[in-house]
Amino acid sequence: DIYRIGNSKDLLSIGSGGVGLGIDAIYSLLSREGRNARHLQEIIENDYKDAIINYRYTKSMVGNITSLNGEKLNDFMRQYRPNYYFVLEANDYIFVSFIKMNYTKYLQDPTAYRLAPLK
């Protein structure tokens, strides 16, 4: 039901009787409940994408390829985290090449892509 509330795709309906606006879709678009539902859907989708990345981009895999461990491994994995679409599309060879290429960059300047701590 929450997916229906957050969905504004049914705003315009075309049927045999003509064109009309869906009242539920208008309410969903303008209401706080609809806005909250869309926000929740976005959070769920981002969590799903993070889980897919984490499934493939593991500490054991990156550690075996780079020989890093401990805090340096965590730092490398944070700085050179692949995006969701790359993880879906890349085969194993390309994925390992991605890690090796970024490891070379990391060795040249370990702080290149490090984010400043939040204050």
Residue 16 has a pLDDT of: 72
Q: Centre a 10 Å sphere on the Cβ of residue 17 and count the other Cβ atoms it contains.
A: 7
Q: 15: part of which helix (H) or strand (E)?
A: strand 12-15
Residue 41 has a pLDDT of: 86
How do the pLDDT tens digits run along the chain, 119 residues long? 545 555 556 666 666 776 666 666 666 667 788 788 888 888 999 999 999 999 999 999 999 999 999 999 999 999 999 999 999 999 999 999 999 999 999 999 988 888 777 87
Residue 67 has a pLDDT of: 95
- Residue 16: C-alpha distances to residues 9, 20, 58 (Å): 19, 11, 54
Q: Are 8 and 24 in contact (CB under 8 A)?
A: no
The answer for residues whose C-beta is within 8 angstroms of residue 25's C-beta and 6 or more apart is 7, 8, 9, 10, 11
Return the closest-CA partner of residue 40 out of 54, 52, 28.
28
Residue 108 has a pLDDT of: 94
- The neighbouring-strand residues paired with 21 are 12
